[in-house]
Amino acid sequence: MTRVLAITLMALLTACTIAPPERGPDTAPAVGARPVSAILYKQALTVIYDDGALCAADRPVAKSIWGSALSGCPHLHSFTVEEVSPLTSVRLPLRLGEAGAGAQVKLAVVIADGSVVNFAAP
């Protein structure tokens, strides 16, 4: 009985010292990935990329122009948001493209190649 217990204990200790396998290529950001949609919430900004990555940023309280870097995804791109008028809805989807004359919110995301992807909401 003690021999079985000793073998089991040795097997468990050996299993604990084995390094976990490295993650595959899905951990590396896709080169040239571009934002395709964005949503501004009362407390956060989310940006979805064409490779399926969902990135987010906390939204500061009562700031009309703010920015930072996206987090929670492989694309840590910087962004700037300009809120022309206060957000009245809980969720505001932003359209891909340049802002029109009456835009309430403008979002600019600087991607890896240095180009800017713009979003806006009327």
Tokens in use for 37?
A: 């949609």
Residue 24, pLDDT above cutoff 50: no
Cα separation, 96 vs 108, in Å, equals: 10
Cα separation, 55 vs 29, in Å, equals: 12
Higher pLDDT, 61 or 40: 40
User: pLDDT tens-digit profile of 66-86?
Assistant: 999 999 999 999 999 999 887
Cα separation, 78 vs 71, in Å, equals: 10
Q: For 92, phi and psi rounded to 5 degrees?
A: -125, 105
